[in-house]
């Protein structure tokens, strides 16, 4: 699909940033609509559901987190949040409540457009459940539970495998530490970040050509990890 087929709703109260977003998105070929408050956004999204929402977490009328949670009650397309540099915990909370990705202010157009493309690509991957994943030289056969690097089978422990598949299924998306711990280790372990560090290091040793400079399992500093959906 060409960008022109995609409609992006920008929810941002600050006029200069809204203008910047509108100009950047329009020149990349997206159709853009804008809301300057949470209430306006709800009406606009309901009237014409966009393909992607860009949501500023700092809004005047409704807390951006509430906007996110209310949208997520029915809206299933990607939501990308904008956050200030000092709002690490807000960003993590937003990701835990259904945001797909975030961009920290101030951000560049190139970064923003790349995040939008990734999110839109990801959202189109619906339909029947995949039985295998291929990224770069990595291939995972979900029915046989086998992992290959090129032609060579890679032996993973059951937890390593579970972690890898969880990341693959959300490829391209930022996954918080809490999310991964809950999905892989269960609800009682959401604080045990060191489990995750150990297992990610193990996976990188087995899957990455250079574990110190990973191309598949990327670190999102202070937030979590992202599996590079295309290498």
For Ca ion, the binding residues (CB under 5 A) are 13-14, 56, 58
DSSP 156: -
Of 34 and 56, which CB lies nearer to Ca ion in the complex structure? 56
Q: Least separation, in Å, of the C-beta of 57 and Ca ion?
A: 8
Q: Measured between alpha carbons, how far is 128 from 219 in angstroms, rounded to an integer? A: 29
Of 13 and 137, which CB lies nearer to Ca ion in the complex structure? 13
Dihedral, 24, 29, 31, 34 alpha carbons, nearest 10: 0
Q: Least separation, in Å, of the C-beta of 54 and Ca ion?
A: 12
Helix (H) and strand (E) counts for the chain?
8, 12
Token pair 């890898």: residue = 164
Of 14 and 69, which CB lies nearer to Ca ion in the complex structure? 14
Of 84 and 135, which CB lies nearer to Ca ion in the complex structure? 84
- The CB-nearest residue to Ca ion is 58
Q: Least separation, in Å, of the C-beta of 144 and Ca ion?
A: 49
Non-local (6+) Cβ contacts of 95 within 8 A are: 81, 101, 102, 174, 175, 176, 179, 223, 224
Of 58 and 214, which CB lies nearer to Ca ion in the complex structure? 58
Of 59 and 147, which CB lies nearer to Ca ion in the complex structure? 59
CB 104 within 8 A of CB 96: no
Q: Least separation, in Å, of the C-beta of 204 and Ca ion?
A: 37
- Chain centre distance of CA 168: 12
Q: Which bin fits 136, alpha (ψ -120 to 50), beta or left (φ > 0)? A: left
Q: Least separation, in Å, of the C-beta of 105 and Ca ion?
A: 9
Q: Measured between alpha carbons, how far is 159 from 165 in angstroms, rounded to an integer? A: 10
Q: Least separation, in Å, of the C-beta of 35 and Ca ion?
A: 12
Residue 54 dihedral angles phi and psi, to the nearest 5°? -110, 120
């Amino acid at each position: 699909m060409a960008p022109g087929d995609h409609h992006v709703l920008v929810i941002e109260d600050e006029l200069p940033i809204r203008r910047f977003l509108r100009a950047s998105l329009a020149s990349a070929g997206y159709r853009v609509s804008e809301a300057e408050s949470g209430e306006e956004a709800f009406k606009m999204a309901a009237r014409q559901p966009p393909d992607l929402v860009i949501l500023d977490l700092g809004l005047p009328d409704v807390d951006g987190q509430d906007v996110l949670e209310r949208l997520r009650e029915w809206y299933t397309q990607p939501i990308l949040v904008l956050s200030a540099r000092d709002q690490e915990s807000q960003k993590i909370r937003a990701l835990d409540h259904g945001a797909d990705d975030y961009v920290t202010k101030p951000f560049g157009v190139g970064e923003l457009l790349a995040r939008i493309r990734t999110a839109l690509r990801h959202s189109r991957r619906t339909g029947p459940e995949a039985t295998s994943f291929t990224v770069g030289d990595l291939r995972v056969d979900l029915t046989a539970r086998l992992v290959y690097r090129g032609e060579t089978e890679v032996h993973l422990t059951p937890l390593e495998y579970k972690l890898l598949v969880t990341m693959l299924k959300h490829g391209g998306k930022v996954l918080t530490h809490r999310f991964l711990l809950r999905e892989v280790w269960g609800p009682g372990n959401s604080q045990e970040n060191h489990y995750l560090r150990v297992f990610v290091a193990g996976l990188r040793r087995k899957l990455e050509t250079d574990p110190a400079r990973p191309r598949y399992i990327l670190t999102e500093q202070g937030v979590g990890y992202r599996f590079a959906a295309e290498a």
